[in-house]
Amino acid sequence: MSARLPQPNRLDHGGIINRDRPVTFTFDRRVYQGFEGDSLASALLANGVKLFGRSFKYHRPRGILGAGPEEPNALVEVDRGPADRDPNHRATMLEIYEGLETFSQNHIGPLNMDLMEVNDLFSRFLPAGFYYKTFFFGGLQAWYRLYEPIIRRAAGLGRPPLAADPHHYDKIYTHADTLVVGGGIAGLTTALSLAKAGQSVVVCEERDRMGGSALWQGETFNGETGAAYIAHMCREIEAAGGRLLPRTTVFGVYDAGTFGAVERCHDHLTKADRAPHTARMKYHRIQAKAVVYATGAIERSVGFNGNDRPGVMLASAGHTFLGKYGVRVGERVSLFTTHDGGYGTAAAFSAAGAEVTVLDARTDAADVSIDGVRVIKGVYAGQAHGRMGVRRVDYDGASSGSLDADALLVAGGWNPAVHLTSHTTDRRQSKPVYDAELLAFVPPELVDQEAAAGSVTGAMSTADCLATAQAAGKKLGGKKIELPTVDQALPVSKPMEMWAVPGAGDAAFLDMQNDATVKDVKLAAQEGFKSVEHMKRYTTLGMATDQGKTANVTGLALLAAATGRDIAQVGTTTFRPPYTPIPIGVLAGHHRQRDYAPFRYSPVHAWAEDNGATFMEAGLWMRPAYYTAPGDKDWLDSAVRETRATRGSLGITDVSTLGKIDIQGPDAAEFLNRLYTNGWKTLPVGKARYGLMLREDGLVFDDGTTSRLGENHYYMTTTTAHAAAVMTHMEFMHQSAWPDLAVAFASVTDQWGALALAGPNARACLAKLFPEVDVSNDGLPFMGVIETQWQGYTARLFRISFSGELAYEVAVPADIFDAFWQAALQAGAEWKITPYGLEALNIMRIEKGHVTGAELDGRVSMDDVGLGKMVSSKKDFVGRAMSEREAFSDPDRAKMVGLVAAKPGDKIIGGGIVFDSAEGPFDYTTMLGYVTSVAQYSPLKDRAIALAFIKNAADWHGKTLYVVSHVHGKSIMEVRAESPHFYDPNNEKVMA
């Protein structure tokens, strides 16, 4: 064990820390020691550290305000190397461990002499609305040159990590009958009641252990200490099958009993203690039939000048550091209170040896006598002095004076933590309701599947909290349990209404993180921002990472006062998930980088990898783009070699990725008739037909061939890109519009592997593979289909062509596709069979003028792509009515055309805009159309060719046009327009 270092503010007893386990850590490179169970805040306070950071806007020195998740000031960075640098941890929630290295944020130079503090001196020039107003002052140029660089430098909290997050994150579905949010004594009591009734219960507690303030407040339960009572309640819950999740924040409530929660599994452990390959955090997507909000309450401060000084903190925070961690935050303590609750804290500090003066805002407060505590009634804290830590407190009111103090605790009343109850509008209103008696917002009326327990309901004493827990249990079908007798109960009372003291101005802070002050709210009201939502945006109050947990209610109370309205009339802003900040990585889980989405591989993927393929993504599929052979200079060289080999003799390509849909049933033909523009009733068995599908709005959706395999059996292919969408479309039309059609269909894309043989020797190769089958032009004519066998397996032979060559597609079951592919390579060897990829396919289909997704981009009509004749006028089909829209027959519509580069070596750039003059102007007033697909080299034309859409396309055939790419410095490319069917326009080759 390392040597013990002194901790000057640590009492020698008290707290629920483990004093046998000292923990050494650093803050801004200085070494400190605390104990196991400490938060960074409590450990640093034990060491006398008061200054934790700088505020966002004015860079004012800031200390600790709270002791929990509400903390606005003490944001620190945990540094475990450049990839693992984690900013904006709240020091109050960060558990220390051996070797933890932390840094303060938001300052230039040392923390105690931040160069940006000059902002504070100019604070009168940075009032609310500063950012909006600068736009009007000096104009945009002033913004760019003067203001923005300064603000950029000053803005931002902490430094982001510089490399990919090295951690694992898990996602889990967690189910429960009832979710209990908050493991304080109320939440646990309700959970026990429900668990005993046989419900499955999950309790999520944000802190490191169950129990909340009952653990350390000093109250006893049936004579037991709080810690002992909580411990046996936890055992009982677990014995009844309940699940307790500490370090788990429920950050959001969603419809129908869905909750988001993040469990922190690693952040409190040394690296050595983190089990390898386990998750740093787990995202629980909790599905629960019912929920108990036992989220507690957050204390609020009061607006007075200097209330942000280091050493000014919430009374509950001071009490927590004392009771939970044995840390006394001051020796001479001033305690400014508006209610009886302050006296419990005063008594605890006095008992711990501090000299305490209570400034009670109420003149009519009951007399309370506590040993060693001086009480001044009817006064308020008017000003706290001490830039780096409180030294003196001026009070005013019924009497005035000045107190020496090294800590100023503020008890301004409690705000129930209603945030989660307002996340959802599921079956009820979301807005919290203002209770003018309690001077606080409480949850709205909850539905049957919800209950609230503890101080979130507005209950103040522990006994009242327990009663609400009992009631919550009863509401949700729990078993009645004996409530404990609470002794040594802390005093409570409703607060006196005091949101800001008289004279509070631009140094009286409400939102400490965003530096919004009492004066800012008044200014907002003065300038007409009377809606709470407008005030929030104008002052930025509540818009920091803490979402104004300690600021919002006070801010809107002041807005109400400034505009002469009731607080209930003003209402609250909307609380949104997440309750506290969560790392984005935990929402992504394992869905990142390579695992973001699955990959789909063809059955011959491994063969392609071994044979020089370079792949490209097509949806989820990995498809060979080209195969690099010895001597190929680049991808285009490979693609052109593959094209020449195919056109000259024989090529083979893998078309397994095309969508394949098996359609069966007596109404199958009728179904196809309604899906496609062309007719299907006359297609005989053993024939394929090219089909075009429209969307219901009349634009082209997809194309492909469908073959009739049997009387009531069809086999449809779709483009790779639209396979899923076509399937979904067919399901929608069948189910929503024509459920009476007797047809069934299933995607069989993964069940069949398919290859295409193309080129003049394709038939000879196919005959060799299927010696029993007559594949002659008579036996298997163009668009013919034969179902046969290959080595005992079904094989389907289709005489279809996408390349413009004599070509066949052969489909066999995916399991044997690799073997069949090898057999085809062997059979084709004598014709130097050449595998070709998507790039060669692209060259060939552009030469042939076939369209793909680049052309069918959801904006083109049948006529635009030259397929207007493919309409059967005798029937109805999807998109028919809308395809007759007038605009579709506008002669000005851009239609497909072929473009050829003026000379070899010239490029055509995809996406370029087409004009009829090289002179310009090159804008929308003169543009004729745009380029959709480019073959950078067409062996047929010995230069680049392209497909494009231009107005009056046919009129331009044979004429010179210009393609201009605005994203390539307006380079101008001269081209000649012609028919898009460059290659074999009369289909002599495919029919041969």
Partner 1 sequence: MLIFCPHCGMRPSEEFTPKGLAEAPRPALGGDDRPEDDAWQDYLHTRTNKAGQTNEYFHHSLGCRRWIVVHRNTLTHEVTGSTMASEFWQNQQQAQDWEAGQ
Name the β-bridge partners of 172. 284
Question: Of 28 and 670, which has the nearer Cβ to partner 1?
Answer: 670
In angstroms, what CA-CA distances link 41 with 51, 158, 313? Answer: 11, 18, 12
C-alpha 26/C-alpha 296 separation (Å) is 32
Interface residue with partner 1, options 285, 374, 687, 976 (CB under 8 A): 285
3-state secondary structure of 287: strand
Question: Of 728 and 789, which has the nearer Cβ to partner 1?
Answer: 728
Return the structure tokens found at 746. 């299933």
Q: To the nearest whole angstrom, how small is the minimum distance from the Cβ of residue 664 to partner 1?
A: 16
Question: Of 591 and 903, which has the nearer Cβ to partner 1?
Answer: 591
Question: Of 449 and 545, which has the nearer Cβ to partner 1?
Answer: 449
485 interacts with partner 1 by CB under 8 A:
no
Interface residue with partner 1, options 256, 436, 620, 742 (CB under 8 A): 256
Contacts of 641 (CB under 8 A, 6+ apart): 629, 632, 834
590 interacts with partner 1 by CB under 8 A:
no
Stretch that binds partner 1, among 350-358, 468-476, 853-861, 884-892 (CB under 8 A): 884-892
Interface residue with partner 1, options 495, 651, 698, 898 (CB under 8 A): 698
Give the type of residue at 363: T
Q: To the nearest whole angstrom, how small is the minimum distance from the Cβ of residue 258 to partner 1?
A: 6
β-strand pairing of 355-360 with 332-337: parallel
Question: Of 457 and 673, which has the nearer Cβ to partner 1?
Answer: 673
Question: Of 509 and 877, which has the nearer Cβ to partner 1?
Answer: 877
Question: Of 278 and 735, which has the nearer Cβ to partner 1?
Answer: 735
Interface residue with partner 1, options 21, 175, 232, 427 (CB under 8 A): 427
Secondary structure percentages of the chain, helix, strand, coil, to 5: 25, 30, 45
Alpha carbon 795 to its chain's center: 46
Question: Of 426 and 609, which has the nearer Cβ to partner 1?
Answer: 426
Q: To the nearest whole angstrom, how small is the minimum distance from the Cβ of residue 674 to partner 1?
A: 7
Question: Of 857 and 876, which has the nearer Cβ to partner 1?
Answer: 876
Interface residue with partner 1, options 735, 822, 889, 926 (CB under 8 A): 735
Looking at 356-401, list the stretches that DSSP marks H as alpha helix, in order from N- to C-terminal side: none
Q: To the nearest whole angstrom, how small is the minimum distance from the Cβ of residue 697 to partner 1?
A: 6
Binders in 403-422 for partner 1, by CB under 8 A: none
Q: To the nearest whole angstrom, how small is the minimum distance from the Cβ of residue 837 to partner 1?
A: 31
Q: To the nearest whole angstrom, how small is the minimum distance from the Cβ of residue 599 to partner 1?
A: 18
C-alpha 753/C-alpha 794 separation (Å) is 11
For 646-671, letters b (16+ CB in 10 Å) and e give bbbbbbbbbbbbbbbbbbbbebbbbb
Q: Please state whether the peptide bond connecting residue 578 to the residue before it is cis, i.e. omega within 30 degrees of 0.
A: yes
3-state secondary structure of 692: strand
Phi first, then psi: give them for residue 559, nearest 5 degrees: -65, -40
Q: To the nearest whole angstrom, how small is the minimum distance from the Cβ of residue 671 to partner 1?
A: 12
Question: Of 595 and 942, which has the nearer Cβ to partner 1?
Answer: 595
CB atoms within 10 A of CB 586: 22
Q: To the nearest whole angstrom, how small is the minimum distance from the Cβ of residue 873 to partner 1?
A: 9
Interface residue with partner 1, options 617, 634, 731, 815 (CB under 8 A): 731
3-state secondary structure of 272: helix
Interface residue with partner 1, options 208, 238, 255, 617 (CB under 8 A): 255
Classify burial at 399, counting beta carbons within 10 Å of its beta carbon; exposed 0-12, middle 13-18, buried 19 or more: exposed
Q: To the nearest whole angstrom, how small is the minimum distance from the Cβ of residue 601 to partner 1?
A: 21
Q: To the nearest whole angstrom, how small is the minimum distance from the Cβ of residue 111 to partner 1?
A: 45
How big is the site for partner 1, counted in residues (CB under 8 A)? Answer: 34
Give the type of residue at 735: Q
3-state secondary structure of 812: strand
732 interacts with partner 1 by CB under 8 A:
yes
User: What HEC string does 942-953 produce?
Assistant: CEEEEEEEEECH
Stretch that binds partner 1, among 28-36, 110-118, 120-128, 881-889 (CB under 8 A): 881-889
Binders in 135-174 for partner 1, by CB under 8 A: 173
Return the structure tokens found at 396. 């005013």
Q: To the nearest whole angstrom, how small is the minimum distance from the Cβ of residue 946 to partner 1?
A: 33
Give the type of residue at 945: I
Question: Of 684 and 739, which has the nearer Cβ to partner 1?
Answer: 739
C-alpha 918/C-alpha 963 separation (Å) is 9
Interface residue with partner 1, options 88, 134, 200, 287 (CB under 8 A): 287
Do the beta carbons of residue 310 and residue 390 sit within 8 Å? yes
Binders in 827-856 for partner 1, by CB under 8 A: none
Q: To the nearest whole angstrom, how small is the minimum distance from the Cβ of residue 876 to partner 1?
A: 4
Interface residue with partner 1, options 208, 487, 697, 890 (CB under 8 A): 697
425 interacts with partner 1 by CB under 8 A:
yes
Question: Of 325 and 745, which has the nearer Cβ to partner 1?
Answer: 745
Looking at 9-111, list the stretches that DSSP marks H as alpha helix, in order from N- to C-terminal side: 40-46
Stretch that binds partner 1, among 182-190, 219-227, 773-781, 878-886 (CB under 8 A): 878-886
Binders in 636-695 for partner 1, by CB under 8 A: 674
CB atoms within 10 A of CB 690: 14
User: What HEC string does 557-590 produce?
Assistant: HHHHHHCCCCHHHHCCCCCCCCCCCCCHHHHHCC
Looking at 419-500, list the stretches that DSSP marks H as alpha helix, in order from N- to C-terminal side: 462-475
Question: Of 163 and 744, which has the nearer Cβ to partner 1?
Answer: 744
C-alpha 655/C-alpha 623 separation (Å) is 9
Return the structure tokens found at 828. 């084709």
Return the structure tokens found at 101. 């290295």
Q: Which residue in this structure is represented by tokens 């200079």?
A: 633
Q: To the nearest whole angstrom, how small is the minimum distance from the Cβ of residue 875 to partner 1?
A: 8
Interface residue with partner 1, options 618, 882, 902, 991 (CB under 8 A): 882
Do the beta carbons of residue 528 and residue 562 sit within 8 Å? no
* Strand positions, DSSP E, 224-377: 224-225, 243-245, 248-254, 258-264, 281-293, 297-299, 312-314, 332-337, 355-360, 373-377
Helices (H) and strands (E) in the chain, counts: 24, 50
Give the type of residue at 459: A
Q: To the nearest whole angstrom, how small is the minimum distance from the Cβ of residue 728 to partner 1?
A: 6
Interface residue with partner 1, options 880, 952, 979, 991 (CB under 8 A): 880
Phi first, then psi: give them for residue 231, nearest 5 degrees: -60, -45
Question: Of 39 and 749, which has the nearer Cβ to partner 1?
Answer: 749
Question: Of 289 and 474, which has the nearer Cβ to partner 1?
Answer: 289
Stretch that binds partner 1, among 160-168, 206-214, 733-741, 837-845 (CB under 8 A): 733-741
Q: To the nearest whole angstrom, how small is the minimum distance from the Cβ of residue 217 to partner 1?
A: 39
257 interacts with partner 1 by CB under 8 A:
yes
Do the beta carbons of residue 914 and residue 930 sit within 8 Å? yes
Interface residue with partner 1, options 160, 564, 684, 739 (CB under 8 A): 739
696 interacts with partner 1 by CB under 8 A:
yes
Contacts of 447 (CB under 8 A, 6+ apart): 426, 427, 428
Stretch that binds partner 1, among 161-169, 200-208, 242-250, 874-882 (CB under 8 A): 874-882
728 interacts with partner 1 by CB under 8 A:
yes
Q: To the nearest whole angstrom, how small is the minimum distance from the Cβ of residue 288 to partner 1?
A: 11
What residue ranges bind partner 1 (CB under 8 A)?
173, 254-258, 285, 287, 424-428, 674, 696-698, 728, 731-737, 739, 875-876, 880-882, 884-886
